[in-house]
Structure 1
């Protein structure tokens, strides 16, 4: 089996890469990386990603790291399989790329920090900082206003078809849905709320969720 994903299913970045693989219905091997013991900072993993962060992908003689780059590669290299995650039309793909950038530059800085405060800290026995939660709720709210307007024009962020632009959001959204923050800043925006529920219900993403239980 040529395709290997090195990482941990509880890692949001690994989840992003796995979501792309699942959408493409590819056969792959998940190579567990024991982050609790610091395996991601040591050999042999450090040879795959010199920054010591999961995930890493091996596809034959190709090695990649950074979850968005991995997902983008999967979308392009396996364009004819599974769910189309990119468009073959340059203009349509440019729009998808714009919203991929929006996720990375506008949504994720606040979304990932909210997930850290609300979900990861309690998971690791740490105390959530209410001031930090309030700060990042304030930062993400205007981004969601833009999303609400965009989703009035199209079913998904990149257009009328699910794409990488939506997929990149899945890990943070999974952590936030059902939380007081979600009820406060996501649910009042009906188009955003419907979009979140739609993409989180995708069978490929549900398969990623199942992997966390093993």
Structure 2
């Protein structure tokens, strides 16, 4: 049975799953979930994700949700396919797990909220909270200083190899490139070079072109 991704091309979380599948060179089918009509809150989708958020994921009779859980599953189960996205050995795994948490707890905690304020709210006819954006930018700047120091030491977050820790950043970084936040990236040469590197990956370009 084919792998299926139930999502939307505008969803960063769905993009995260798609790029992981592309890095692994796996075949998959996409199922469009119409977010405007709130299809994600209705059956049959909520039988996959009871929280009513994209993406939903099927691999045979297995159903998963939460994009980062899905990518971890893909990386482990299909470890012998495509790009190795994990690391071997307890110390290397420790570093990988660390940066996976940093992405969620530190980077995304600020970056995704900024993207929502600047990019999503206007589309929904809502007003961007500029004061909140400025506060979030200060928070993100502190986080990026830590990234800059790390990336001055290694090409990727966990060392010399591209892993899930890098991959998980792609959708939000791509979105923020379209905003004034890019100046924060440009001001940090190692972080900026890392962004350019991962955004240029063929798998990411394919993910952006995924058809639903």
Which residue of structure 2 aligns with residue 172 of structure 1? 172
Cα deviations by residue, 1:7-41 (Å, 9 ceiling, x for unpaired): 11111111111111111110000011111111110
**Once the 2 structures are TM-superposed, how far is the Cα of residue 96 of structure 1 from its aligned partner?**
0.9
Which residue of structure 2 aligns with residue 160 of structure 1? 160
Q: How many residues align?
A: 212
Which residue of structure 1 aligns with residue 192 of structure 2? 193
**Once the 2 structures are TM-superposed, how far is the Cα of residue 178 of structure 1 from its aligned partner?**
4.0
Give the TM-score normalised by structure 2. Answer: 0.96
Which residue of structure 2 aligns with residue 101 of structure 1? 101
The whole-number CA distance in structure 1 between the counterparts of 2:127 and 2:210 is: 27
Give the TM-score normalised by structure 1. Answer: 0.95
Residue aligned with 2:63, SS: strand
Whether 1:25 aligns to 2:28 is no
Q: Residues 54-69 of structure 1: matches in 2 within 5 Å?
A: 54-69=54-69
Give the alignment's Cα RMSD to 1 decimal.
1.3
Residue aligned with 1:140, SS: helix
Name the stretch that deviates more: 138-147 or 172-181.
172-181
Q: Is the 8 A contact 1:96 1:159 kept in 2?
A: no
Residue aligned with 1:36, SS: coil
Instruction: Give every structure 1 segment of 4 or more consecutive aligned residues whose post-TM-superposition deviation is greater than 4 Å.
Output: none
The whole-number CA distance in structure 2 between the counterparts of 1:114 and 1:190 is: 21
Gaps of 5+ in 2: none
Whether 1:34 aligns to 2:34 is yes
Cα deviations by residue, 1:68-123 (Å, 9 ceiling, x for unpaired): 00011111111111111111333212211110000000110100011111211223
Whether 1:119 aligns to 2:143 is no
Residue aligned with 2:209, SS: helix
**Once the 2 structures are TM-superposed, how far is the Cα of residue 182 of structure 1 from its aligned partner?**
1.4
Which residue of structure 2 aligns with residue 139 of structure 1? 139
